[in-house]
Structure 1
Amino acid sequence: MISAATLRHDAFKAPAPTRALFPEFPPVDWADGDTVLNATPSKSGEMDIWGAIRPGSRIEGTPYVAVRPIGQGGMGDVFEVEHTALGKHFALKMLRPSHLRRPDLAARMRDEARTLAALRHPNLVEVFDLGSTPDGRVYFTMEMLAGRDLRRELRRLGSLSVPAALNLVAQALDGLQAAHEAGIVHRDIKLDNLFLCDDGSLKILDFGIAKQARRRSSVTGHGVLGTARTMAPEQHASGSVDARTDIYAAGLVLYELVAGRGPFDEVRGQEQAMRFAHCERRPPPPSTFAPQEVPAPVEEAILKAIEKRPERRFQSAAEMAATLRDCLADASKNAVKMPSPTLVSPPGIDAALWPRRLLHRATGALDSIRGRIFPLRLNVP
């Protein structure tokens, strides 16, 4: 099983010449709590994530016993844990020891837990507990999820079928609508933060940089928060964000699922060039890259979602979800159904006996062929 908090941000570093082209863009804060899928072993082969915690040991000041590490990142380490009294397993996210002197990160982790706890929805991961260890490390526990994130799913398949992609993104939009109705903007919707459960349901992960839509700015002292490859133009320009910021990101997710790549992946890895592309360049239609036919209504929905100006996008997650489900219904109606082959018996012959007679005739024909061919072969000098 994989934790609900296993997620990974794409980190981009532009070469110096590229940075010089776009000096107006502020730097992205990559120390915001990015968690990498499957903690990376150190040179010695040991998991750096463990620190003073060992498998089977009780985490001091908590009712949880550590089972295994799940992931690690700039802000939090994630473990699978077992509750000592309940015997139930959870995913526990804990502030890294190196951030004990960062009250802003501790506050952000508390905010993430409280945000998720307040947002009860089938497409959002559920939070059960919030606390801190005696040394001041904030932690919270979440449900354990069995499945994989959409980044892994896309790597496995190359691209998803249009109906599958529509279904998954519509589920994500349902979860986003619940968050938006509560005044919360996620700000980091991407494949890594969308978890496909084994039962086919989808969960939105990581509200670590989510914010109240009514707050004035999305910028902290560390710069813009988010992932350059999936940020809306207004995020890149340090402007205000609202629900339509998440809609832009959801459109990029749908684009990548059906096309197998993002609209500006030719500059992937170049932070400033990627920002310029999202702010200034017209995205090519997903059909440009897709290994499958993308129906016109689906392509129109994607391009509408990733319009540069928020007022030209879908104005709510619910509106976009409804459009995608209409596209899904149309795709189902237009799907060509191949008739299953049927064996029709000749007139006057019992249908139940026909397959047996056909087999007998085929066997007889084969025997006849053998009788004609083998003697010829035997007579060849």
Structure 2
Amino acid sequence: MTSNTCFVTTRPGGGLLRRRERIPWRPFKPGELLPGCAFQIVGPRNVGGMGEIYEVRDGRGQTAAMKVLSSNLQGRADLVGRMLDEAQALRLINHPNVVRWRDAGVLDGGRPYVVTELLRGRTLRAHLRLCGPASPPRARRWIVALLLALDAVHQTELVHCDVKL
């Protein structure tokens, strides 16, 4: 059962997490300008265990992907901090197999967000369902590309705990 209210830990001025307040929860809607950042919602893309993923547009009309910490987790200071730390580490990664960092911060109301380049296309899982098994040489190329991306991530001392196919 989901609640339509939640507790939020705010981060005024980007400082330490200081207080909790009760605010109503609602998903972001297409066309909505997000409070506390320079992005507008284009539409929802996915929901994961840690966050909601939206396609967003910046003031120049460029699209990107925005991950916002799930409203039911935003009162957890450890997860807020971890998401912001991961965003800063992602900023250091420059690899063709890793999405490029664009922005990160905390929305008005205390929800942290990370903005990256937007990838279009199917997941590997969807591709395999549609096209069937890959040939051994193709599978090897995919695995090598994935391992090179994970190596780039690990060089920033991050461990990716949620690789999706």
Normalised by the shorter chain, which TM-score bucket?
0.7 to 0.9
- Taking a change above 3 Å as real, the CA distance of residues 98 and 181 of structure 1, as seen in their structure-2 partners, is closer
**Identity score, percent:** 39
Q: Does 1:81 align with 2:56?
A: yes
Structure 1 segments (4+ residues) deviating >4 Å: none
Q: Deviations over 1:231-282 (max 9, x none)?
A: xxxxxxxxxxxxxxxxxxxxxxxxxxxxxxxxxxxxxxxxxxxxxxxxxxxx
Tell whether the 8 Å contact from 2:69 to 2:112 is kept in structure 1 after alignment: yes
State how far apart, in whole Å, the 1-side matches of 2:27 and 2:157 are: 38
- Taking a change above 3 Å as real, the CA distance of residues 65 and 183 of structure 1, as seen in their structure-2 partners, is closer
Q: Does 1:181 align with 2:126?
A: no
- For 1:66, the aligned partner's letter is I
1:316-331 to structure 2, matched below 5 A, reads none
1:326-337 to structure 2, matched below 5 A, reads none
- Taking a change above 3 Å as real, the CA distance of residues 169 and 58 of structure 1, as seen in their structure-2 partners, is same
- Residue number among 122, 125, 135 corresponding to 2:96 in the alignment: 122
- For 1:101, the aligned partner's letter is G
TM-score (norm 2): 0.78
Residue of structure 2 in register with 1:286 after alignment: none
Structure 2, unaligned runs of 5 or more? 1-24
Secondary structure at the aligned position of 1:114 is classed as helix
Deviation at 1:190, TM superposition (A): 4.8
Residue of structure 2 in register with 1:269 after alignment: none
Secondary structure at the aligned position of 1:129 is classed as strand
Residue of structure 2 in register with 1:309 after alignment: none
State how far apart, in whole Å, the 1-side matches of 2:31 and 2:148 are: 38
The structure that is helix-richer by fraction is 1
TM-score (norm 1): 0.35
1:248-263 to structure 2, matched below 5 A, reads none
Residue of structure 2 in register with 1:140 after alignment: 114
State how far apart, in whole Å, the 2-side matches of 1:73 and 1:177 are: 23
- Taking a change above 3 Å as real, the CA distance of residues 119 and 156 of structure 1, as seen in their structure-2 partners, is same
Secondary structure at the aligned position of 1:112 is classed as helix
- For 2:42, the aligned partner's letter is V
Structure 1, unaligned runs of 5 or more? 1-49, 192-381
Deviation at 1:130, TM superposition (A): 0.6
- Taking a change above 3 Å as real, the CA distance of residues 184 and 57 of structure 1, as seen in their structure-2 partners, is closer
Q: Deviations over 1:268-307 (max 9, x none)?
A: xxxxxxxxxxxxxxxxxxxxxxxxxxxxxxxxxxxxxxxx
Residue of structure 1 in register with 2:12 after alignment: none
Residue of structure 1 in register with 2:29 after alignment: 54
Tell whether the 8 Å contact from 2:74 to 2:111 is kept in structure 1 after alignment: yes
The structure that is strand-richer by fraction is 2
Aligned residues: CA RMSD: 1.8
- Residue number among 128, 134, 155 corresponding to 1:154 in the alignment: 128
Residue of structure 2 in register with 1:43 after alignment: none
Q: Deviations over 1:306-332 (max 9, x none)?
A: xxxxxxxxxxxxxxxxxxxxxxxxxxx
- Taking a change above 3 Å as real, the CA distance of residues 182 and 102 of structure 1, as seen in their structure-2 partners, is closer
State how far apart, in whole Å, the 2-side matches of 1:58 and 1:190 are: 29
- For 2:77, the aligned partner's letter is P
Residue of structure 1 in register with 2:80 after alignment: 106
Residue of structure 1 in register with 2:41 after alignment: 66
Deviation at 1:170, TM superposition (A): 1.1
